[in-house]
Amino acid sequence: MRTSFGSDNHSGVHPLVLKAIEEANDDYQLSYGEDEYSERAADLFRSFFGQQTSVFFVFNGTGANVLCLQALTQPYHSVICARTAHINQDECGAPERFTGCKLIPVETKNGKLTPALVKPFLQGFGFQHHSQPKVISISQTTELGTVYTPEEIKALADLAHRYQMYLHMDGSRLANAAAYLDVPLDHITVKAGVDALSFGGTKNGMLMGEAVVFFHPEHAENFMYIRKQSMQLFSKGRYVAAQYLAYLENDLWLDNARYANAMARYLAVETRDIPGVTITQKVESNAVFAIIPEKAREKLAEKHFFYTWDEATGEVRWMCSFNTRKSHIDAFVNDLKNTLL
């Protein structure tokens, strides 16, 4: 395949994760999350997020997001999110279909919600003709590669809790955000007021599987039934849990994220001064958003895979990952320059 800057999902699996899967394959284990690997992984999650933490493993990110929201809502509720949020744009209506809730998308400049942007949608409480606002959902990092600070998350959590609502975080790239901010994972989740977290690793070196994390026991009380009924209970759960053990132990999650972020910064530095290239978002994680001429996009795409984010403006997205190499970027930059000559 051509060199891909299309998605961090295009990268393979980290060797340590593959090794952990192989080691988990050596013996008999109980199924459906009752194995020793799942128990160890749950303890490890609690060491990161606190003893009140409940964790459930599911197949994929859409499942994690949908089930998180389902546990927090009733069908007459609504979920407020950025227009660019994955739950709004990239999950084929699954959140609305399976929760019954109305998604309320909010326009943002950088993918980030703020209390000022959310407040106009906090209305109709107690009015039977309106869906009832119940969840504010944010992505960390955002779909535009930007990062919420702990203070920004806390402000949204405080707003949600003031209205007896919840704050949900889509953390498919949570590691990249923590690496950028140089803070522990709990500083941008439970300590900042997040109620429920979809914590992913497949974009950062894992093979498959995601984690649904609750920080209040009452939200987890009936989740085992929700997961089973939603067809997200993996019989051989040890293979997901084993990946998280490799991912979280010895800071593999952090090393991979720091490296991917560094590659994105390098890509941005090498391209930002090329005539015809305009970087459109702050490079705070492993994504670079830029506008380049249409002819350059077409010619560059003959050698390198990437996505056009906005056809109308010519904005593209270039993603880096734990196995992006400087040599990949150097070749990409050289070809980009040649297309603009």
Q: Encode 95-114: b = buried (16+ Cβ within 10 Å), e = exposed.
A: bbebbebbbbbbebebbbbe
Mean pLDDT of 260-273: 97
pLDDT for the residue 229: 96
The parent domain of residue 286 ranges over 3-9+252-339
Whether omega for the bond prior to residue 149 falls within 30 degrees of 0, making it cis, is: no
Q: Are residues 315 and 198 in the same domain?
A: no
Looking at residue 310, its pLDDT comes to 92
Instruction: Give residue 149's region: left, alpha or beta (phi > 0; psi -120 to 50).
Output: beta
Tokens standing for 54? 């409940």
Quote the pLDDT of residue 339.
Answer: 92
Q: Are residue 260 and residue 237 in the same domain, yes or no?
A: no
Which of 250, 265, 289 is at the close of a domain?
250
What's the total number of domains in the chain? 2
pLDDT at position 341, please?
A: 76
User: Which structure tokens are listed for 215?
Assistant: 């920080």
Write a three-state SS string for 3-23.
EECCCHHHCCCCHHHHHHHHH
Q: Which of 220, 235, 250 is the last residue of a domain?
A: 250
What pLDDT shows up at residue 206? 97
Query: Tens digits of per-residue pLDDT, 100-130?
Result: 999 999 999 999 999 999 999 999 999 999 9
Domain of 256: which CATH number?
Answer: 3.90.1150.10
- Which residue type occupies 227? R
Q: Can you give the pLDDT at residue 165?
A: 98
Q: Are 313 and 292 in contact (CB under 8 A)?
A: no
Tokens of 309: 């984010």
User: In terms of domains, do 294 and 193 share one?
Assistant: no
pLDDT in tens, 152-182: 999 999 999 999 999 999 999 999 999 999 9
Confidence (pTM): 0.96
Let me know: does 222 contact 246? Beta carbons within 8 Å: no
Alpha-carbon distances of 197 from 139, 172, 275, rounded to whole Å? 10, 9, 41
**In this predicted model, what pLDDT tens digit does every residue of 192-206 receive, in sequence order?**
999 999 999 999 999
Asked if 50 and 197 sit in the same domain, the reply is yes
| pLDDT the model gives residue 1 | 60
Claim to verify: residue 240 and residue 315 sit in the same structural domain: no
User: Helix 252-271 and helix 174-181: axis angle, to 10°?
Assistant: 70
Residues ≥6 apart with Cβ < 8 Å to 116: none
* First-to-final CA distance of the chain: 26
DSSP secondary structure string for all residues of 143-170: TTS----HHHHHHHHHHHHHTT-EEEEE
